[in-house]
Structure 1
């Protein structure tokens, strides 16, 4: 029950979900600071418990008992100084002295025979905890740089019981602020890009950290285990036992009556490695999968931000509409930082509020001449006045101005215009990549 309670506390701390919380990143980013941090901190807590595996180390030394050295002293000594195996002992030699192949690395040591020391088990909980903190670090850095800007702008627009007039007023204020600050978000986006890139660095750095931590055997640990599980008969020693031995040797030195050093051998059972071998096997697969997903999504999404042709379809799908003139007016000439900031607003506004926001923003940009030459020339291309055409044009212009004045008239209404219902596969893929 204590473990469950601790894991629950860790999950709530990492999740940090509170009413009104806004989304300032993406799903892949969240895999790092939520799920991966939870995994490392959870494994760190799990590795400190004795309720599942008992004492992490138990050593037996018959000569020590005869000399009056207690078992607690031997256990403490071997835990502090570390244990070792003899990797050069072949399977044949081990069978001759009565050991099966899974008792890898045991036997009588020959002169100058290589010892493989195992000291990592002392630090497993601490290293896992530090790695969990490292995976949370990019998110913490981005939160500091973002400084609650999106939350301050949209948190009071997410209330389900807000009346329409209040929502229109708040949307109008938001569109005025965004219009006045367009062009200043490139640094904002670059800071996010740096924190997002740190996730990639973090994954590979942690993989090499673990590899160095467990005697340079982590990078090949997964493939070796897969080959062993496919056909155990082709492998003399299980990679689980080779990397995380359960039976090891320990040397205890005692001074004799004449002052000579007596080396006493102890046989130690590392029960903690039963858990470690599975934890690190899971982490190998998870880190490899996470690194692939992060790299692919990062480079595709970063490239996508600079391709202007995808901006209109992305906002169309966000607003659930194909009536895109206001969207085109907004996104045609904005910078990449502005598009990133508008994408964050789109994630945190509901569909109706986002449609209304785009309509208000487009109108504000038209008033200030914020549209590019192409948009202005399109607006200026009007048929000659006179007759029925002029009357229709006057009525259309009057209706447009009336809609602009009151800010409603179903801005970007989710109606599908005739002949404009085709969305390319590339645009759909771009939308989903931008969303993750």
Structure 2
């Protein structure tokens, strides 16, 4: 029970919606798939450690305690199955030809746990590497989320702070990359030419590819450990359902009735060999769990692949400019002038790049598009009107510097000669 409580605690933390650095396609993997596998593993563990996973028919001369011994022995040792229409002969016992051993069922909870760890691995890599590539996206989005969005001044102040932090992080990242001359980072950024470049963007797409490889690789992982031809398992289930038969005509996959061989040794050479029949109720659960998971993996693979295609479109040349122009138009409430159009190209390609647009899109997906648009408007204003030393020309020492002062150096230029503010 202690192990079950620990598992419940781990999967409870996974299910918490505290991540603000991904999209719904990533959550299908690192959240819902992990929770699903955790639920399956806990259910099967409870059946194995608390219930009766196997029931065997002991020899007639065995008593009550002997039956417990037989059940435990056959559970921890390999059983085997044969065709239900074939006669049980000596050719099948003791590992003879025509029988199929079934040693996997005792390891199924651990196999599901391993599958959950593999599914969560890309999210862990993204948390470990991606957040340190340029700037910590979750921390910045969390800062927006905990801000009182109904207060215009507080919201604007928070967005200005985020804009300043982004600018500093970008300058530091470019300087560090130039000094270290990291070949891997340069190659990764160059591979993202279609998305505007950027190390963070490259890592983000790499993580999405890992999610896809994991979803597809789960078929081969389960097929390797269970040796049940899992690649076509769902097709066999569908075939059985459509024909009104049992799910699986061939009970070799998850046999419900198996046989167990064991030897009772006495003093000397007097050994008695037994072959008994056992029922595996746990395989009723295994059969349905792996059938459902087969269809879930198909859905997960398609959804993850579709998510990659969506992001490729969003980060394409047209997608990047369409996203920025749409939000700038809504926030500026006017079309860009000819001069601003020339600045816009440099703003998209040099100031933001792929990393900046990825950052804005993740904010739009994890908070709301309005906040992303307001942040974009602030970043644009700071780009076209760079902050400078602000000379305030008034004798009023109590003048407060507002966020607008940071954006428009001349807004208080006629007010106060005593205060000089360096942005």
Q: Partners of 2:227 and 2:360 in 1: how far apart? A: 48
The residue number in structure 1 matching 2:219 is 207
Q: Could you list the per-position Cα deviations for residues 205-263 of structure 1 after superposition, in whole angstroms to 9, with x for gaps in the alignment?
A: 22111112222321111101111111156x9x934733111111000113366615432
On the 8 A contact 2:79/2:102 being kept in 1, the answer is yes
1:193 deviates by 2.1
On the 8 A contact 2:82/2:252 being kept in 1, the answer is no
On the 8 A contact 1:59/1:267 being kept in 2, the answer is yes
The residue number in structure 2 matching 1:108 is 89
1:306 deviates by 4.7
**Which of 43, 53, 65 pairs up with 1:56?**
53
Q: Could you list the per-position Cα deviations for residues 294-340 of structure 1 after superposition, in whole angstroms to 9, with x for gaps in the alignment?
A: 12322x13532552111233346667938563795643554223321
SS in 1 for 2:274: strand
On the 8 A contact 2:328/2:376 being kept in 1, the answer is no
Q: Partners of 2:259 and 2:6 in 1: how far apart? A: 34
The residue number in structure 1 matching 2:71 is 75
Structure 1 pair 259–144 and aligned structure 2 pair: CA distance change class (3 A): same
On the 8 A contact 1:319/1:354 being kept in 2, the answer is no
Q: Partners of 2:370 and 2:307 in 1: how far apart? A: 29
Q: Partners of 2:70 and 2:328 in 1: how far apart? A: 69
Which stretch of structure 1 is more off in the superposition, 340-349 or 50-59? 50-59
On the 8 A contact 2:78/2:103 being kept in 1, the answer is yes
**Which of 318, 321, 337 pairs up with 1:312?**
321
1:83 deviates by 0.7
The residue number in structure 2 matching 1:41 is 38
Q: Partners of 1:243 and 1:332 in 2: how far apart? A: 56
The residue number in structure 2 matching 1:130 is 114
The residue number in structure 2 matching 1:166 is 154
The residue number in structure 1 matching 2:373 is 355
On the 8 A contact 2:315/2:354 being kept in 1, the answer is yes
SS in 2 for 1:253: strand
Q: Partners of 2:45 and 2:366 in 1: how far apart? A: 40
Q: Partners of 1:43 and 1:320 in 2: how far apart? A: 49
SS in 2 for 1:259: coil
The residue number in structure 1 matching 2:360 is 342
Q: Partners of 2:327 and 2:68 in 1: how far apart? A: 65
1:149 and 2:145 matched: no
1:357-376 correspondence runs (5 A): 357-367=375-385
Q: Partners of 2:278 and 2:51 in 1: how far apart? A: 14
SS in 2 for 1:65: coil
1:151 deviates by 3.7
Structure 1 pair 291–232 and aligned structure 2 pair: CA distance change class (3 A): same
Q: Could you list the per-position Cα deviations for residues 48-104 of structure 1 after superposition, in whole angstroms to 9, with x for gaps in the alignment?
A: 2249994001111325528x98111111111111110124x6x3x46xxxxxxxxxx
- Cα RMSD of the aligned pairs, angstroms, is 3.8
SS in 2 for 1:113: coil
1:284 deviates by 0.6
Q: Partners of 2:8 and 2:325 in 1: how far apart? A: 40
The residue number in structure 2 matching 1:293 is 303
On the 8 A contact 1:53/1:272 being kept in 2, the answer is no
Q: Partners of 1:198 and 1:288 in 2: how far apart? A: 16
1:26 and 2:38 matched: no
The residue number in structure 2 matching 1:429 is none
Structure 1 pair 324–207 and aligned structure 2 pair: CA distance change class (3 A): farther
SS in 2 for 1:62: coil
On the 8 A contact 2:148/2:155 being kept in 1, the answer is no
SS in 2 for 1:267: strand
1:43 deviates by 0.2
Greater relative contact order (CA < 8 Å, ≥ 6 in sequence): 1
On the 8 A contact 1:64/1:70 being kept in 2, the answer is no
Q: Partners of 2:255 and 2:111 in 1: how far apart? A: 19
The residue number in structure 2 matching 1:251 is 261
Name stretches of at least 5 consecutive residues in structure 2 with no aligned partner: 174-196, 388-403, 412-423
Structure 1 pair 407–60 and aligned structure 2 pair: CA distance change class (3 A): farther
On the 8 A contact 2:328/2:377 being kept in 1, the answer is no
SS in 1 for 2:408: helix
SS in 1 for 2:261: strand
